[in-house]
Amino acid sequence: MIKLSGVSKSYDVGGEKFFALDNIYLEINDGEFASIVGPSGSGKSTLMHLVGLLDQPTGGDILVDGKNIAHLSDVSLSKLRNEYVGFVFQQFNLINKLTVRENILLPAIYSRKKLDYIPDERARSLLLRFGLQDRIDSYPNKISGGQQQRVAIARALIMKPKLILADEPTGNLDTKTGEEIIKLLQELNREENITVVIVTHDPSIAAKTKRKIKIQDGKITNN
- Contact between 117 and ligand ATP by CB under 6 A: the answer reads no
CB of 198 to Mg ion, least distance (A): 12
The alpha carbon of 12 is separated from its chain's Cα centroid by a whole number of angstroms, namely 27
Asked if 109 touches ligand ATP (CB under 6 A), the answer is no
Cα–Cα distance for residue pair 60/9, rounded to 1 Å: 9
The answer to whether residue 44 forms part of the interface with ligand ATP (CB under 6 A) is: yes
Stretch that binds ligand ATP, among 24-32, 43-51, 92-100, 141-149 (CB under 6 A): 43-51
Contact flag: residue 46 with Mg ion (CB under 5 A): no
Query: Which residues on adjacent β-strands are paired with residue 5?
Result: 61
Question: What does the DSSP 8-state code read for residue 81?
Answer: H
Among 41, 70, 142, 210, which residue sits at the site for ligand ATP (rule: CB under 6 A)?
Answer: 41
200 is a site residue for Mg ion (CB under 5 A): no
Q: Is the Cβ–Cβ distance between 219 and 36 less than 8 Å?
A: no
Sheet bearing 2-13, strands edge to edge: 16-28, 2-13, 59-64, 67-68
C-alpha to C-alpha distance for 100 and 133, rounded to whole angstroms: 10
Does 45 sit near ligand ATP (CB under 6 A)? yes
**Using rule CB under 5 A, residue 45 touches Mg ion:** yes
**Residues near Mg ion (CB under 5 A):** 44-45
